[in-house]
Structure 1
Amino acid sequence: MTIERRPRLGWAGLFNLSFGFFGIQIGFALQNANMSRIFQSLGTSLDDLPALWVAAPLTGLLVQPVIGHLSDRTWLGRLGRRRPYFLAGAILAAVALFLMPEAPVLLAAALLLWMLDAALNVSMEPFRAFVGDMLDKDQHAAGYGVQTAFIGAGAVVGSIFPWVLEHLGVSNVAPPGQIPDSVRYAFFFGGGALLASVLWTVATTREYSPDQMARFHGAEEGDDGTALRRLAARDPGDGGWWIAAGSAVIVLVAMLDLEKEVLLLGGLLASYGLASAVAVARARAGRAPGMLGHIVGDFGGMPPIMKRLALVQFFSWSALFIMWINTTPVVTRDFFAAPDPASAAFQRGANWVDVLFATYNGVAAISALLLLPFLSRRIGKVRTHVVGLTCGAAGYASFLVIRDPRWLLLSEVGIGIAWSTILAMPYAILASTLPARKLGVYMGLFNVFVVVPQLLVATVMGSIMKRFFPGEPIWTMAFAAATLLLAAFAMLRVREETA
């Protein structure tokens, strides 16, 4: 069979392809910049914030591989392969954004965070594979660069909107137990913007049919046969090691009196071990692998370059999640001297966090379009990512020496450069190496290494801070800086020429 090439897309085509990510990132930015603020306003303590944030990464861990697997196998006529998931996720996320600021109690807010993050993941995960589906290899870097620019632009809008509303006269204070109008209206706007932008991508793009995709990639081996062989070749006892590791974590929680949220980590390790044991047993008995078997088999069969990049992702996203959880308490306590969520100074500090988050996302959007193409052409994608991660580490470390909150804008420049490379470089390196028929599930599995570090931070960081730095959240930024440096060193092990 003659292998055909996809038609090249111009800037309008690249715009339409990723514009939906603009709205999705508005939703993520509102969540990241304001959920700690909402939880504290509804009465939670600083020590309990990591536990409440567990919902977000846990949802991504469960949702992304499943949605990737399903979207690889979906074809709904004119609606296509990935777009049904964009649309369904956008509708549910918009509903969650509309309801979140009206949450009457802390439990309702936590449940809505779970719903919001699940819906955002349903929309987001297929967008990564969508670029690979629609573009030829020589346009992958451009496609992910445009996608990163929309992520940055959407995050700027979502992060800064409460601050803008305050300066337009909308109230930024509220009685104890209530959410300020500036935050409420920002969430309402975010729900509408998310839905509108995803509808734009759904309406202006047409996916390639299964027959067309076959002409682009040639004949490929049946998926069931590959999964069965991978699973049947695995040691049946491998799952037992994961179960033992999970059990050990649970025992350590009891022995060392760790935070109870760490039990979740042990449960996840044991659950993966059980799922692996079941999948291997089914394969050795000659039974069809099913979705569980496919996901477990694909996880064990990741290409080598994906495994090396997974370690980089692990450290990178650990640092990011530390920032998202702790920037509000760090800035309000250490730069505005306002630990009380009911005070006007706390709300001013929280709005300044919105400005800081908008800054790093704006820098990321500019970096993705201007700096990254320049650097990657001259020093390669791997070294470009190393440079970005090092800039981010410097940005985090500067929180410990800066005293004027205005100078934190300079810190966010380094963090923004890191954010742009984290969002673009690993995916640009991977896109040309993954098999087309499994692009969705592999992108979902790759995002496991985005989610697992967030779970570790949410479950373990609270224990560390309580034990060694009680009431001093500023030290979380030192952890974030060190973790990004580890990511940079891990990136030096990646060999771009093997892709």
Structure 2
Amino acid sequence: MQKTQPQLSYWQIWNVSFGFLGVQFGFALQNANISRILSDLGADLHSLSLFWLVAPIMGLLVQPLVGAASDRTWNRVGRRKPYILAGAVAAALGMFLMPNAPLFVAFIVPMLFGAMMLALMDAAFNVCFQPFRALVSDMVPPEQRNKGYSVQSLLINIGAVVGSILPFVLTNVVGLENTAKVGEVAPSVTWAFYLGATVLLGSVLWTVFRTKEYAPKDYYAYKGLDPEIVIKAQSVKLSLSQRLNNFFKLVLTMPSTMRQLAVVQFFSWFSLYIMWVYTTPAITQHIWGVEPKWFDPAYLASLSEVPASILIAKGAAGDWVGILFAAYSLFAAFFSIVLAKLADQFGRKLIYSVSLMLGGLGYISFLFFQNSELVTVNLLITQVTVPTGAVNLILPMIGVGIAWAAILAMPYAMLAGALPADKTGIYMGIFNFTIAVPQIAAGLFSGWILSSIFDDHAIYILILAGVSMILASLSVFFVKEYRQVTHLEEAA
């Protein structure tokens, strides 16, 4: 007999999701600064997207494995929490080592070491993310899912705001240097990664110690499952080929809602990948007036010295990208507060679609902000002088932030009710394919598109991102949503 799953208080939901704040803090630092770090270490514009392929590939490999393992894990620490904690420790290690790539030059090329640490961080972030998603699904009853995923989105965006803005703060408030010679990493970025690793570990430990996962007997009762049948099925030892065969069967027989959401995910994550990789060179060129040749390592190597004006412009633009990323995360955090109520009142599909449309229009509008006239801006914590066009770019970030909040919450809220409770973890891992595949596609082709079609003018590839996000918005209307599944047979 199925028992009624208890309602959670707001602060219980908060504690379940709190570790997301730190994980996203680290992820935001990576998103806003990896292109900057890799460029400083010697990567060119064409190869940036290839380096960024590490992230989706790690997600593709790690999340289904971790999801399947966490579905079968019950120990003293918990079901999902052991993986969350292990991922946080590994991510923190990568964040401490990443900006120190030049120190290992005697053993390995700094750019290669940086790529290795990027792989470690991304693998670790994915080890954290998937069990966190499943933990929310495990702990939050169906009628509170909109609220649960909205709180998760809020915390993610709080972490993203602070993580994105941190290098700027360390430069303009603390006074650390934000410029770097070729082959080195700016001190402000290095210390930002150190602080990010600390916050990541602290927030994950908060969730681990403040959240008590349900015992197996209670969990299965809440989900309408027979514990004896589930335990018997999970106790069967399968060969690797059998496990792979079962995995591919799950992929082929995934719920229709997941297949339909995959189309939306493809277009939206294709856009996000482009934004993360190319916003820095795009605004450095489009707003600060730095020509594409200054991103070419071969050209830089032909010079005895890079002009100070170029280094200053790159440093200032890199810092401002942190402000822009913090802005869209802040707008996303505010939107997350009302997202659940809007979804309850108007429906998830409508709110999801409108949000993505606003994000697509935001990307496209980047093209129209090119005013190079300098203006002094008061950011409360400090004042900074930047081109007027850079300040105006905060406006498109409203749309991008609204889209980001919806992307973080709506697909999972729409999907959770369509999944069998005993396979939530592995299905959430499989669903990560819909995040990883579009990023891999963007990574493989965006560099070629940038060089062959747009002549290395990165602003135009952001316009392509806008078109893709609009296609994602239109695709939402083809999703058939399910509210809840309580038995394994109802999964499809």
TM-score, normalising length: structure 2: 0.86
Deviation at 1:11, TM superposition (A): 1.5
Deviation at 1:297, TM superposition (A): 1.5
Deviation at 1:167, TM superposition (A): 1.1
Q: Is the 8 A contact 2:414 2:483 kept in 1?
A: no
User: Where does residue 85 of structure 1 map in the other structure?
Assistant: 83
Is residue 276 of structure 2 the alignment partner of residue 324 of structure 1?
A: yes
User: Where does residue 150 of structure 2 map in the other structure?
Assistant: 145
Q: Which runs of 5+ in 1 are unaligned?
A: 229-282
Is residue 337 of structure 2 the alignment partner of residue 391 of structure 1?
A: no
User: AA paired with 1:110?
Assistant: A
User: Where does residue 376 of structure 1 map in the other structure?
Assistant: 343
Deviation at 1:99, TM superposition (A): 0.6
User: AA paired with 1:346?
Assistant: K
Q: Structure 1 residues 59 and 497 mapped into 2: Cα distance closer, same or farther (>3 Å)?
A: closer
Q: How does 1:218-257 map to 2 (within 5 A)?
A: 218-220=224-226
User: AA paired with 1:176?
Assistant: V
User: Where does residue 209 of structure 1 map in the other structure?
Assistant: 215
Q: Structure 1 residues 207 and 223 mapped into 2: Cα distance closer, same or farther (>3 Å)?
A: closer
User: Where does residue 328 of structure 2 map in the other structure?
Assistant: 360
Deviation at 1:175, TM superposition (A): 2.8
Q: Is the 8 A contact 2:49 2:442 kept in 1?
A: yes
User: Where does residue 196 of structure 2 map in the other structure?
Assistant: 190
User: AA paired with 2:97?
Assistant: L
Deviation at 1:222, TM superposition (A): 5.0
Deviation at 1:313, TM superposition (A): 0.7
**What are the Cα deviations for residues 233-263 of structure 1, in whole angstroms up to 9, with x where unaligned?**
xxxxxxxxxxxxxxxxxxxxxxxxxxxxxxx
Q: Is the 8 A contact 1:322 1:457 kept in 2?
A: yes
Q: How does 1:326-345 map to 2 (within 5 A)?
A: 326-339=278-291, 340=294, 343-345=311-313
- In 1, the alpha carbon distance for the partners of 2:355 and 2:223 equals 33
User: AA paired with 1:118?
Assistant: A
Q: 1:413 aligns with which of 398, 401, 407?
A: 398
- In 2, the alpha carbon distance for the partners of 1:433 and 1:212 equals 21
Q: Structure 1 residues 305 and 361 mapped into 2: Cα distance closer, same or farther (>3 Å)?
A: same
Give the secondary-structure state (helix, strand or coil) at the position aligned to 1:400.
helix
- In 2, the alpha carbon distance for the partners of 1:65 and 1:295 equals 9
Deviation at 1:199, TM superposition (A): 0.5
Deviation at 1:12, TM superposition (A): 1.3
Deviation at 1:289, TM superposition (A): 6.2
**What are the Cα deviations for residues 264-287 of structure 1, in whole angstroms up to 9, with x where unaligned?**
xxxxxxxxxxxxxxxxxxx9xxx7
- In 2, the alpha carbon distance for the partners of 1:290 and 1:497 equals 30
User: Where does residue 100 of structure 1 map in the other structure?
Assistant: 98
User: Where does residue 453 of structure 1 map in the other structure?
Assistant: 438
- In 2, the alpha carbon distance for the partners of 1:430 and 1:152 equals 21
Is residue 491 of structure 2 the alignment partner of residue 492 of structure 1?
A: no
Deviation at 1:51, TM superposition (A): 1.2
Deviation at 1:224, TM superposition (A): 9.0
User: Where does residue 249 of structure 2 map in the other structure?
Assistant: 297
Give the secondary-structure state (helix, strand or coil) at the position aligned to 2:18.
helix
- In 2, the alpha carbon distance for the partners of 1:121 and 1:337 equals 37
Q: 2:414 aligns with which of 413, 424, 429?
A: 429
- In 2, the alpha carbon distance for the partners of 1:7 and 1:40 equals 51
Q: How does 1:94-173 map to 2 (within 5 A)?
A: 94-104=92-102, 105-168=110-173, 169-173=175-179
User: AA paired with 1:84?
Assistant: P
User: AA paired with 1:464?
Assistant: I
Farther-moved stretch of structure 1 (216-225 vs 169-178): 216-225
Q: CA RMSD in A?
A: 1.8
Q: Is the 8 A contact 1:382 1:495 kept in 2?
A: no
Q: 1:438 aligns with which of 423, 437, 443?
A: 423
Q: Structure 1 residues 293 and 224 mapped into 2: Cα distance closer, same or farther (>3 Å)?
A: farther
- In 2, the alpha carbon distance for the partners of 1:174 and 1:309 equals 42
Deviation at 1:488, TM superposition (A): 1.0
User: Where does residue 233 of structure 1 map in the other structure?
Assistant: none
- In 2, the alpha carbon distance for the partners of 1:152 and 1:378 equals 23
Is residue 70 of structure 2 the alignment partner of residue 71 of structure 1?
A: yes
- In 1, the alpha carbon distance for the partners of 2:233 and 2:477 equals 35
User: AA paired with 1:122?
Assistant: V
User: AA paired with 2:93?
Assistant: V
Deviation at 1:288, TM superposition (A): 8.5
User: Where does residue 273 of structure 1 map in the other structure?
Assistant: none
- In 2, the alpha carbon distance for the partners of 1:116 and 1:313 equals 23
- In 2, the alpha carbon distance for the partners of 1:325 and 1:483 equals 15
Q: Is the 8 A contact 2:230 2:422 kept in 1?
A: no
- In 2, the alpha carbon distance for the partners of 1:332 and 1:418 equals 24
User: AA paired with 2:468?
Assistant: T
Deviation at 1:217, TM superposition (A): 2.2
Q: 1:346 aligns with which of 307, 310, 314?
A: 314
- In 2, the alpha carbon distance for the partners of 1:363 and 1:498 equals 28
User: AA paired with 1:416?
Assistant: G
Q: Is the 8 A contact 2:130 2:429 kept in 1?
A: yes
Deviation at 1:88, TM superposition (A): 0.3
User: Where does residue 315 of structure 1 map in the other structure?
Assistant: 267
User: Where does residue 259 of structure 1 map in the other structure?
Assistant: none
Give the secondary-structure state (helix, strand or coil) at the position aligned to 1:65.
helix
Task: Count the aligned residue pairs.
Answer: 438
User: Where does residue 175 of structure 1 map in the other structure?
Assistant: 181
Farther-moved stretch of structure 1 (210-219 vs 378-387): 210-219
Q: Structure 1 residues 52 and 288 mapped into 2: Cα distance closer, same or farther (>3 Å)?
A: closer
Deviation at 1:373, TM superposition (A): 2.5
- In 1, the alpha carbon distance for the partners of 2:391 and 2:114 equals 31
User: Where does residue 28 of structure 1 map in the other structure?
Assistant: 27
Q: Percent identity?
A: 43
- In 2, the alpha carbon distance for the partners of 1:93 and 1:366 equals 27
- In 2, the alpha carbon distance for the partners of 1:439 and 1:207 equals 15
User: Where does residue 374 of structure 2 map in the other structure?
Assistant: none
TM-score, normalising length: structure 1: 0.85
User: AA paired with 2:261?
Assistant: L
- In 2, the alpha carbon distance for the partners of 1:195 and 1:120 equals 12
User: Where does residue 300 of structure 2 map in the other structure?
Assistant: none
Give the secondary-structure state (helix, strand or coil) at the position aligned to 2:333.
helix
Q: Structure 1 residues 198 and 479 mapped into 2: Cα distance closer, same or farther (>3 Å)?
A: same
- In 2, the alpha carbon distance for the partners of 1:190 and 1:209 equals 33
User: AA paired with 1:170?
Assistant: L
Deviation at 1:98, TM superposition (A): 0.5
Farther-moved stretch of structure 1 (352-361 vs 374-383): 374-383
User: AA paired with 1:400?
Assistant: L
User: AA paired with 2:178?
Assistant: N
Is residue 11 of structure 2 the alignment partner of residue 12 of structure 1?
A: yes
Farther-moved stretch of structure 1 (429-438 vs 84-93): 429-438
Q: Is the 8 A contact 2:22 2:202 kept in 1?
A: yes
User: Where does residue 62 of structure 1 map in the other structure?
Assistant: 61
Q: Structure 1 residues 434 and 37 mapped into 2: Cα distance closer, same or farther (>3 Å)?
A: same
**What are the Cα deviations for residues 182-211 of structure 1, in whole angstroms up to 9, with x where unaligned?**
100000000000000000000001111111
Deviation at 1:225, TM superposition (A): 7.3
- In 1, the alpha carbon distance for the partners of 2:277 and 2:240 equals 42
